[in-house]
Structure formats: structure tokens, C-alpha cells
Structure 1
Amino acid sequence: MQFTNTLAFAQQQDQEDELQHFRNEFLIPKHEGKEITYLCGNSLGLQPKNTRQFINEQLDYWEKYGVEGWFDGEQPWLAYHHEISDLLAPILGAKPIEVTCMNNLTINLHLLMVSFYQPKGKKYKILMEGGAFPSDQYAIESQVKFRGYNADDAIIEVFPRAGEETLRTEDILEKINKHKKELALILFGGINYYTGQVFDMKTITKAGHDIGALVGFDLAHAAGNVPVQLHNWEVDFACWCSYKYMNSSPGGISGIFVHEKHFEADLPRFAGWWGYQLDKRFKMDKGFVPEKGAEGWQVSTSPILMMAAHKASLKVFEKAGFANMRAKSIRLTGFLEFLIQQVNEALGEEFFKIITPKNPEERGCQLSLICKQDGKLIFDALVKQQIIGDWREPNVIRVSPVPLYNTFKDVFAFADALLEISLKLKPTN
């Protein structure tokens, strides 16, 4: 697609956008009555307008039925999560029985590692991306310590080469092969939170299975952002949060994937009543018998109001179609990349270095920019102009144009302000 650095071009693209009307299904924050430019969906997605309706419906249900709401009415709470699984499955490339919503991301990561981190003999080590989000670092470190291992020995990290910002797939595969006799588990992010790099999950999964390791992914920045095929790739397990690209409320309910090949296996797990076999759950018998599928990993009673918020957003996804969203995302992020290059040209140097991969297959909505100088001053100045991105120390601005509610005009406004602010701060010779 050929881009042009003009407001008229951005407005034309918005007029021709088949998804343009979905912006009207979201509540865009305002300042002094004017909508802000919100480019931070990688951190917290915006509220769909139907969220209040979906939550209110469940409040009315609670008012009408009380405790009988679990069993009576048009959609009893006991099975409320089933429709959510149906909505999630196509977004994750999974069968509905392989996914469910429950808990929060790091809790789910711990619960899944109980089942899928099974060190034995010499195979006790975990391979992960260097510089992963701290939640993953802390969870993995505590899991290996809990099993009696030294974290410095049991955790193998893969870092980019010197002078590079992103990981090469060949280096990940080389590390897998080098430690093939030691690896019990490979646990990667689907997308690196800092650089925005999408990892080759299919290739990593196959390489892990070839050396007898299990493979899982934290999809916090991938779910609802980029296409994944968890079932066909034969990923063993995955988890994600829903409050970023899936717009399901601050700290909203998380989800898990467990491949169906593990359903009949006698895997260890931390059990709870809500994961017990449904048709016998209320007999209150001793001895845990898991419900078949991902639901068997549930522990606690489903939080209906959180699930209602999640369902509200997923209904918007269903109407828009994820393939359509992805196609727009590629164009929108491509336009952002083009405009940042134009900013650098106007400044006469690479003032903003994009560290996110250039290949659309290796990135989602997010572009991460290393600021040559005055990064925090530039970011703060953007915020003062009601342009909201995301700052990461020491010098990175993350910008994420989300296809459901962001526009080409939003992207143009960001680049225009970025240039104006930078010109004011850039020293003159």
C-alpha cells in the first residue's frame, strides 16, 4: 500500500475503512469535551459501549433470581462461560473445549506450570526469552525454586545478539538444540512486551517437541492482536489477559488454553471445586475428578460480572471478524511506521529508532520507538497534547493503533505532534 503524509490521505483511508463504524461502539476518553488520541491499547483497551448493558443484565439477573441464577432463567450462570469459550476459540485458533476464562494471568501461569513443568532427572530446565515481562520472570523463578532447583541454573534465557534489539528464531532454535538433554519446558511470550516482536510460535513448538520438551506461551500481548493457531501448532498450553487488546475491563478475567491431547493424561494440578466434573459436582464427593477440557483446570467460582464485561467485548470481535481486524491492523501500523520514517527525515536523522520488526508477520499493532534524546520529555509533551501512548524505561515510547477503535487520523495526529515537539527540543547547530 502506498502511503501519503497528509491529513487528507488519512481522512480518505478512514472513509474507505470497512471497520470505521466500530469506533462508535467504544467510549473514547475526552478532555474538555474533545476526544483524546488514545494509542495505548497494548496496556489497557477502551471500554465498549455495550459493557454497561452486559453487566447490568447480570445485575438484573441477580436481583431477579438470587442464588437460583446459577440454575434458572434464560442463561444460568453455571454455564455462562461456555458461550465465552465459543467466542474465544476462533481468536486463539482453538477448539472451544480447549479454552476457558478464569482467574488472572499470573495465577493461571502458575496453575498451568504445576501441570506442565514436570522436571525429571537431567531434564529440569526451562527456556524463556531474556527480558520477558517481570510477571513471567517471577513466576518461573518461583516455580523452579519451589521444585528445589537453583533459578540461575534451571532457567535458560535467550537474548538478542549484541547490537540487536530482537531475537532471531535461529538463535532460539540453536539454544533449544544445545540444551536438548536438559529442557523440560519452553515457556515464551507470544509477543515481547518491550519490542513488540511476534515470536515464531509454530516453529518453537515443533523444535521443543522434537527434543521431548513441553511448550507453552504467555499470550498477554498476542491474544486479540495477532492470529494464532494454538491447536494446529500443537502448543501444549497457553494463557493470556483480556484487558489489553480484548478490552475486557481493568484487570479483567484471564483465559487458558490446554491442547486436547492432554485431556486424558493424568496430569498433576492444583484442583478446586469449580474444575470438578460438572454432572457430579454437587454430590460433594471426595477425590477430584476433573471436568473434561480446559474447564478441568478451573479452581474457583466464575466471577460473573467480570465475565460479562469480557463477553461484551468478544461480541464486538465476533461482529467485526478477526481476519478483518488483522487486515486493518497491518495497514494502520504500516501507516504509523511510514509516518515515523517521515518524522526522522524531517529531523535529518534517525531520531526515533523503531525496534519492532519491519515484517508485518513479526509484529502486531505495537511499534516501539527508541528516542535518541529527551524521550521522557517528548512523551510527557505528547500527554499534555492529549495523545496517550506508553512509556518504558529507559528510552522507549510504545504506540499501539488498535483496529477496532483507532483511525488513520489518530496515527497522523501522533506523528504530527511528535515532529512538532521534537523540533522544539532538538538542538540547532
Structure 2
Amino acid sequence: MSAIDGVFPTHKTRHVIFATTIGNALEFFDFTVYSFVGVLISRLFFPSASATGQLLLVTATFGVGFLMRPIGGLVIGIYSDRSGRKAGLMLTIALMAVGSLLLGIAPTYQQAGIVSPILIVIARLLQGFSSGGEVGASTTLMLESAPSSRRGYYSSWQFASACLGVMLGALVTVALTTVMSSNSFERWGWRVPFLLGALIAPVGWYIRRSAEETLRPAASNVRMMDGDRAPSRLLGNGKWWNATSGILLVGGGITTSYTVTFFIPTYAIKQLGMPSSVALTAAVVCGFTGFVTAPVVGILSDIYGRKPLVVAARILTITAVFPCLQRLNSAPGSLRLFAVLVLLGMLLALQMTSIITMVAEMFPRTNRVTSMSVVYGIGVSVFGGFAQFVNTWLVAVTGNRMAPAWYLSAILVASSLGLIGMRDRTRNSI
């Protein structure tokens, strides 16, 4: 079977892809909505603070989700490696549903006092915890369900579904803010996307329940007998460099992702004076670009290998980001912004789709979910959690609008050290 057969997935393939990626799409749907309604949430749930304090508090609340990712990755990863990939995926989407529901029904500060922000923090903790195990469990199930010649295509839907979640989150927010008055949206309309997420999650849980398990009984028994050593086996027995390489590669990709998807649109609004509606449209553009590009990249990675595509993507990104930002600064405009985002978004998909597959392929079946989840969670928490802050700080301190391009380039070069000695296992048995 050739790699190009992946363009026409069978019913079984579609079921595996849909079952594993629906939770990832839901995660990024909530992530995007929360990003856009963050200012409104700060007023409703932290009214006693100053305007600056409100933003800091809602940003901190947003950040606790990042801090919980490695913890969730470790706990859910061990559970998935012991009890099965399906069990882990069903747990993650159930936690996501609870988190979304809490955000959708939480009373405001005016209604419940201090209980109000506490519920928001709990919701974000649950979402971060579940997200920590989501990528590892879903990527692993897709890899292990795929023929060796199509693992890149199957796992490409991990990144594609994240982009779909961003696109749908932005579209729903645009639709609500367009058809509703500002007063209605502020009173109750902002809750609708989170309630939609809570309603969709049980459907995803049911679909995941019917997916075929890939953890073989023998591997599961080994994990159960040796389960108490799971954390040490993650980085022990000569696997330190594998884990470090994975964290570096994920970190470079996530820095690119947050710079392209979130920083550049925000930068265009605050520094270049574009209208705020541009941010929502930009999220739709970024999401759509990644969604249509990722599966193609997956097929290419099955043909040419993962590592060559990562190297090419990083070289092209470093080459493109300077003229892109320079042209955007010299003549700001929405169409030019969208063109920049499409180009950088395609290069982002070329990089991240290949990285997700390659990192998951590094680890043995018996602790693949734990390893992938913790490595990805640390990469996202350390690099993703600080990308926007560092870029904003660099522009403010240096006064140089090209500073983000230098920062991104430095991160990409440094994180590419993870490619040294990393084995590309394209088409090899895992």
C-alpha cells in the first residue's frame, strides 16, 4: 500500500482519526475562545482588581493550564500505558467536558464572590491536566493503528485537529459577537462556546469508547508488573537524550506556533494599529492553513522521512520570518497580514506535524504515552508558556520591531540540537 493511499481513508481509518482527534480539537476550541474572551472574563470574575491587575489575574489563570500539562501527562500517561490508550482518551475527554462545563456555568464575582474565580481556576487546572495526557494518548493510538508506511499521515491529524479547533473557536466567537448585542454577549453569550464544548465532549467519549485498542495484553501485563518504575523508565536506561531531544524539538515548534498564531496578530493590533477584529480573522486563517496543510505533510513525511522535513521547515522559517515582519511593518494591512500568516502557517505545519510523529516514534510501546505526554507537556509549558511574554518584552525593551524574528530564529537554531543523534524511524517497526 502506497503512502498516497492515505488521501482516501477507509471507514476504519476515518473512525480512528475522528475518535482520537476530537478531544484535541475541543481543547484548542476552548483555548481559542478563552483567549478572545479573556478581557471580558477578567472584568466579570476579578472586578476588585485594577484594570492591569485584572489582566494579570486572568493571564495567570490562563497560565495554570500550562503548568498542569506535564503533571497530567505523567499521570494520564502511566494510566494509558497500564490500562490502554482508549482508557486514557476517555479520561481526558471526560475531564475536558467538566472543565468546559465549569467555565460555562460559573457564577460571576457579583453573584458568588470569591467562589467565582476559584471555579475558573479549577476549570483551567482540569483542562490543563487533561490536555497533558491528550496529545500522547491520541498520537500513540493513531501511530499504533497505522501501517508502518502511513504513520505520518495518521498522526498528522493530531496537528490538523488542533488547527481545526482554533478555526472553529474563532468562527463561533465571530458569529456570536456579530449576531448578538455587546450587552447580551457580555451577560451570557460568552458562555455559549464553553457549553457547546461540554455538549460535544460526551459524543467524543462515546466515539472513543468504540475505537479499537492497540495496547496488546502482553505489553499491558509488562506495564502492570513494572508500573511502579514507570517514571524512572521514562528518562532512565539511556533515554535521557531521547527525552531532551524531544523537549527541544517540541519547544522550537511550539515557539513558532505561538509566535505565528497568537503573537503576530496581537502585534499587528497593538503595534501596527490594525482593528481588533483582525485577530479573530487571523485565527481563522491560521487554523484553516494548518488544517489543510498537515495531512499533506503527513503523506510527504511517509515518503521522504520526518527529519528532512523538520530541517527544511526550520531553515525556511528562519529565512522567511525576517522579510515577512519587515514587509508587515513597512506597509501594515490586513491582506498582507493574512499572506504572512498563510506562509508561516504552512511552514509551521511542515515542522510540527513531522515533530509530533517523530517524537512519538522514539519511545517503546510499553511507556510510549507516558514518554510522549511528559516530553510534549514540558516543551509546551516551558517554551509555549513564555513565547508571547518574551516577544512582547523584547519589543518593549529594545524598541526593535524585528526582535521577535531574532528570538524565534535563535530558538529554532538552539532547539535543532535535538536532531543530533536522533534516529528517524520512518517506516521502521516501532
The TM-score range, normalised by the shorter chain, is under 0.3
TM-score (norm 1): 0.26
Structure with the greater relative contact order (CA < 8 A, sep ≥ 6): 1 or 2? 2
TM-score (norm 2): 0.26
Q: Which has the higher strand share?
A: 1
Q: Which has the higher helix share?
A: 2
Q: Which has the larger radius of gyration?
A: 1
